[in-house]
Structure 1
Amino acid sequence: MNAARRSPDGAFRRLDLTVQRRVSGLLQGESAGLRLGPGSDAEELVPYSPGHDVRRIDWNATARLGDPHVWLTQAEHELETWVLVDRTPSMAFGTALAEKVEVAEATVSAIGIVADGPGNRVGLGILDAGGVRWRPPTTGRRVARRLLTAEPPSPRTAETATVGPTFAAALVELGRRARIPGLRVIVSDLLPADGTWERPFDWEPPLRRLTARHDVIVVEIVDPRELDLPAVGHVTILDPETGRQHEVDTSDPRLRAAYAEAMRSLREHNAEAVRAAGADHLRVSTDDDWARLLIRLLRRRARHPRPARSRAATATH
């Protein structure tokens, strides 16, 4: 993927070919809404009341129950997708096939291409050291090209380090901007900039608010070297988010064991927090075949659609 940075148009063409060959069609077409409304698929049988479409009367149910009953349908509409991509300094790291930010951008770009259908729109938010830059909804292919041609993030140094925006604040902004129910894709390494390794995380409440209204996918990007410390003696480690430096002796087996346990615990807590919020969770490593993992997730979602929100709450809208 590093070569792809030097030739963005070539990278886009290769990604487009990969997506069309491997994941095409899994998000395209008319999308089921989160509320009852105009559509073609019967969703709920209710007693007839003035204003209901008489063409939806179920005569068998009416004869059986003694009163007119009609089928309400689930609304169908164009799919509006918003993606939030984490490009903070911690994402500019990779020891395997690519940097985390490259895997993140390729994954989200692929979703943009797959979601590119008639009337469908994709909005983009890029979280970096300077804040969140928002791009208005447009076609998925334009979003994919924007991500693949964007300049890569630079690691933060101790001299230039400042307190940057938080992931939680970016989720709050996403909820304010993206009010039409649809698909929301969030891609981040979920590394805690404040050193909080255990739940509850500060990003859980805004994520729960998002899933209450939207269908949400959280893609967590990891690198193998982040999970275990190699035994290479005394080293100086730089925190890319804060610029702080730490002197550690990686030859100490107790230190390596404690680090591995902390990272294992963090990943478990991340997965638990995402599931508790009601979002889909996909973990991708820089040494993974991200396209294969994305296909698996999208096919599972196609076979087992997420249930619509509470009918009691939405039938009156």
Structure 2
Amino acid sequence: MARTNDPGDPLGVGASGAGSREGRPSWAPPVLRGDRMAAGLRTLELEVRGRLDGLLQGNHLGLVPGPGSEPGEARPYQPGDDVRRMDWAVTARTTTPHIRETIADRELETWIVADVSASLDFGTAACEKRDLVVCAAAAVTHLTLGGGNRVGALVSNGAETVRVPARGGRAHARNLVRTIAEMPRAEEGTRGNLAELVDQLRRPPRRRGLAVVVSDFLGDIAWQRPLRGLSGRHDLIGVEVLDPRDVDLPEVGDIVLADPETGRQREVHASAQLRKEFAAAAQQHRGEVARALRQAGAGHLVLRTDSDWIADTVRFVVARKRGWSGAAS
């Protein structure tokens, strides 16, 4: 789980720029830094709107899949009704069993927790992991915005945390994505704290809504407990961003492994045994992350720097819609 000095790295060691689209896959995110930031964000918005538009039409009645939580009219009880919705006051008054209908809240409030700590400033394929955080935020804002819905964000690089209030409108969505993209890079040795960041979203308690946590989830899984607390009130999605070098070492002989969040470095020889042990440890950690997200009740979307992130998002959303439909039926 570290940077490498892979000679075959097309972006360079801990690349700070992804270059232009020349020589890169057509699905690669646009350049989102330097003097190309504004053009890259416009291109990203067009790509997201073009490939994701209409994907969630008719996905649910209101805030989250289900009948809603706002109290509505009372009506006589019918066989098959949920007895937990019994209105005992009306039942006592009329001497006839009644249940209280609920009204679906059609205004969704979405919060994005964006981790852009030092471990995200790295990429050896089509882009940096940091770019995928921005792309994920753009996709979430596009898929959830509209119809009076609001979206906000908590963005942290480990040294600084920025809160973007939840508001509606396309201009606000553009500003939110730009805020994440322009978040300053943390100095090497600055540790991120995802658990604390998630906890900030839990307090003060917010109206029931959707929470999306975007990170590479490297390091200790100390974020599981606050994530469970968050899922008790919100529909929850964890977006895990990965680079091939997070899970596999290259066969290049001597390499320097570095932890960008502590600054520690170690020179090793990438022998077959070491690469096998590294891959096994990485696979074990990925399994622990998936299990922790599942136990927290979160959906799990994996985006990789060497894969079409929009296609992966579409597959995730379509599968999620099928799950919603199955639950509703």
Specify the TM-score bucket, using the shorter chain as the normaliser. Answer: 0.7 to 0.9
Matched, 1:32 2:52: no
Cα drift, residue 80 of structure 1? 0.3
Distance 1:173 1:28, change over 3 A: farther
Give deviations 1:63-112, integer Å, cap 9, x for gaps: xxx94444623432310000011100100111111100101111111211
What is the CA RMSD across the aligned residues, in angstroms?
Answer: 3.0
Distance (whole Å) between structure 2 residues aligned to residue 16 and residue 140 of structure 1: 14
Aligned-pair identity in percent equals 37
Distance (whole Å) between structure 2 residues aligned to residue 151 and residue 92 of structure 1: 13
- Unpaired runs of 5+ residues, structure 1, are 58-65, 309-317
Deviating beyond 6 angstroms after TM superposition, the runs of 4 or more aligned structure 1 residues are none
Counterpart secondary structure, 2:263: coil
Cα drift, residue 258 of structure 1? 0.8
The farther-off stretch of 296-305 and 68-77 is 68-77
What is the aligned partner in structure 2 of residue 262 from structure 1? Answer: 281
Counterpart secondary structure, 1:287: coil
Superposition TM-score, scaled by structure 2 size: 0.76
Letter in 2 for 1:31: G
What is the aligned partner in structure 2 of residue 179 from structure 1? Answer: 206
The farther-off stretch of 118-127 and 1-10 is 1-10
What is the aligned partner in structure 2 of residue 151 from structure 1? Answer: 182
* Correspondent of 1:286 among 281, 286, 305: 305
Counterpart secondary structure, 2:324: coil
What is the aligned partner in structure 2 of residue 272 from structure 1? Answer: 291
Cα drift, residue 38 of structure 1? 4.5
What is the aligned partner in structure 2 of residue 242 from structure 1? Answer: 262
What is the aligned partner in structure 2 of residue 94 from structure 1? Answer: 123
Matched, 1:211 2:231: yes
Contact 1:219–1:281 (Cα < 8 Å) also in 2: yes
Letter in 2 for 1:246: R
Report how many residues are paired.
284
Give deviations 1:201-259, integer Å, cap 9, x for gaps: 21111011011110000000000122111122222222101011112111x22111111
Distance 1:275 1:168, change over 3 A: same
Letter in 1 for 2:194: F
Counterpart secondary structure, 2:200: helix
Counterpart secondary structure, 2:156: strand
Distance 1:293 1:263, change over 3 A: same
Contact 1:187–1:218 (Cα < 8 Å) also in 2: yes
Distance 1:81 1:306, change over 3 A: farther
Letter in 2 for 1:90: S
